Structure 1
């Protein structure tokens, strides 16, 4: 029954999404061996497979800290307009490091505990969190970008009614160390040679969840995460490793290994960070794209990935489909432009992840898809409607819903155009978070 249900669902998905499958199989097949860890024997339980996948990822990213400092949060109101109060906040993430962020609180959130969403900025050159709430462009001195691009998710979602926390990632915004360049991760690797900036960003989001759960106007069980571009990439990692994130949207993130792109793990001639007086960096390519020389440092995502760049025949133990699988059964939405769906081979990865969601069976040690449905806004209406209109006893509904697995908790959405977050995608975002964070059904 499961096999036929999966086949029928796959056919419907191919028809409804209508994306490019016919002519590009050979392009997608070239990295097929990149996710060997998820090709375990069928008899292996998902809980066991997930542990194997997680270990492979941590071997690349590095383990998270075992020392967890007190949060010691600081929170200061700086503005109030359009029914939203803005706070500047910071909290401890490591003993010698603090996350800085903007917290936007709609007036409506004061009336009852409200779901909160962590908003993760794209690649900027010093603006960081300011870009996420519409205070600046890519640089602090630049005006906010065109709203049609959709950068300011922290502001848009707060206007929609959610509490939002827009953080600075390390090496951007307020977290650029004095005298160093934006996005220069070499200092981080001097301090943490066995970790990765991806692991560090994930850890900082975990600490962001800790902070949000201290606020009495936040529903601590309903916390989402969203990001665009670099933020979309980061949001998926955060959701995979932080089980308290209830629902996630990854928009325009690179979800594919590109071994020719040295940013995954540069072979740095020097691991010493740039200091005042060193020659500035000047990339004609970046100037053409952004209109200025960003003078950014070498951003190194995963230092331990270097062997897979040096020897491109070496099989990579995990791919981003397995990262999507680790989020299951919690809701996950993947958004990208049509061209990005093609370039990053996203569609076949989604189909692999969808199998895990569709065939989900609740198991001890992992979240319950059925319990999540029962706790969402609207479940009472489900029971009432089908009892009065169809004479289905309320006690039968859980069994019916359990047969859905978590198939509708995973989805994807593509749009025409360039690397952006246009209105059509943002409206999908509002609906997704309303549905799975239980803000409103109106």
Structure 2
């Protein structure tokens, strides 16, 4: 048998073997549709003892401090903080009523990142928005999903333009807010855009990298939140920004980032989240055909032992917060959304601040079209202007 034929046969055998492994089933099993069969028993034990109302702490400020401490503890060790937030402007472009800047600055002591900043024409300081991009299982672009890119490869620009049509109704949300008088900042989350893999985009590698980070005593999802906090700290240092009027907003994963940031940073004065709020017992269940498809994008080890999603978001109370979800959003079933909204309203009511919490369910899918962006603008105009 010649070498070529032998190699072909070996390759065929390996392929057949791999195929057989993937199709093999045992009569007994413990996981179904990627969830343990005993998931209901786990739900029964998730009593969220550190939630406001469940905790024995009756002083709200003390409760928030202890709850934040627990969240940060579960987020594991943060990246080492940058010694300063000095930045350099790489490129700039004058647009209709505002200037677009591409900057580079140290987001931590370990890594510099590039970001877009939009600055309104006129005399500042201005109110500002940390605009947080989505997941979308699309990692090639990040900040470019929120702010129209420039000084960039034509492939990136075309991809960003296409993404606007898919999720944002053809409108760059960052540019829309800047035209209405807001400084807008947007940076890539870890593994998106210019913070991706040298080998190129591969969604399947996200979970592997998250596992490797965990082996290093760090958490990839937590790094995203730590970076959002640091990005807000950087934003507050800019001379054209009013540090007392900083908000944050995002859609999908950007919405998750927005309420996490609002809960954990006192520099955020108001937050808007579009299409990301749920309770764990609805998210992780077969009843609605749901499971966590975002990988490790919002996975913080052990946190569900203490707090559910709406409990964490409630740390933002009594800040003004806006939550919008869609009744046709297959990622976030309405019963879980309504339950989460009720939990948060109970917290804001307990502080006499329910007028500051706006929760709405719109006739839409998982998206952030111009009509939603208009509502977000109205919300920020009310609370930051």
**What's the TM-score, normalizing by structure 2?**
0.74
Cα shift readout 1:300-350 (whole Å, capped 9, x = no counterpart): 542625xx9xxxxxx742111111210111111111112346447122222
Name the SS for the 1:436 alignment partner. helix
Name the SS for the 2:313 alignment partner. helix
Q: Aligned in 2, Cα 1:223/1:32: closer, same or farther, shift over 3 Å?
A: farther
Distance across 1 between alignment mates of 2:243 and 2:218: 29
Name the SS for the 1:49 alignment partner. helix
Partner of 2:132: 120
CA contact (8 A) 1:61 1:304 kept: yes
Q: Aligned in 2, Cα 1:356/1:300: closer, same or farther, shift over 3 Å?
A: closer
Q: State the 1:196 CA deviation.
A: 2.2
Partner of 1:156: 176
Matched, 1:73 2:64: no
Q: State the 1:188 CA deviation.
A: 5.8
Matched, 1:320 2:309: yes
Which moves more between the two structures, 411-420 or 332-341?
A: 332-341
Cα shift readout 1:358-395 (whole Å, capped 9, x = no counterpart): 232xxxxxxxxxxxxxxxxxxxxxxxxxxxxxxxxxxx
Unpaired segments ≥5 residues, structure 2: 1-39, 286-290
Cα shift readout 1:224-260 (whole Å, capped 9, x = no counterpart): 1001111111111111111101110011125443346
Name the SS for the 1:36 alignment partner. coil
Distance across 1 between alignment mates of 2:94 and 2:158: 22
Q: Aligned in 2, Cα 1:326/1:150: closer, same or farther, shift over 3 Å?
A: farther
Q: State the 1:64 CA deviation.
A: 3.3
Root-mean-square deviation over aligned CA pairs? 3.0
Partner of 1:345: 336
Q: State the 1:150 CA deviation.
A: 6.1
Map 1:96-175; keep pairs closer than 5 Å.
96-107=110-121, 110-123=122-135, 124-135=138-149, 141-142=158-159, 143-144=161-162, 145-146=164-165, 149=169, 152-175=172-195
Cα shift readout 1:44-67 (whole Å, capped 9, x = no counterpart): 222333234324433432243464
Name the SS for the 1:339 alignment partner. coil
The count of residues paired between Structure 1 and Structure 2 equals: 323
Q: Alignment partner for residue 304 of structure 1, among 301, 306, 312?
A: 301
Q: State the 1:41 CA deviation.
A: 5.5
Q: State the 1:125 CA deviation.
A: 2.8
Q: Aligned in 2, Cα 1:61/1:228: closer, same or farther, shift over 3 Å?
A: same
Distance across 2 between alignment mates of 1:49 and 1:414: 29
CA contact (8 A) 1:263 1:300 kept: no
Distance across 1 between alignment mates of 2:381 and 2:45: 35
Q: Aligned in 2, Cα 1:430/1:216: closer, same or farther, shift over 3 Å?
A: same
Distance across 1 between alignment mates of 2:141 and 2:55: 47
Map 1:221-300; keep pairs closer than 5 Å.
221-257=244-280, 258-259=283-284, 261=291, 263=293, 299=296
Distance across 2 between alignment mates of 1:418 and 1:231: 16
Q: Aligned in 2, Cα 1:181/1:43: closer, same or farther, shift over 3 Å?
A: closer
Partner of 1:420: 367
Cα shift readout 1:87-113 (whole Å, capped 9, x = no counterpart): 001211222212321111121xx3131
Partner of 1:283: none
**What's the TM-score, normalizing by structure 1?**
0.65
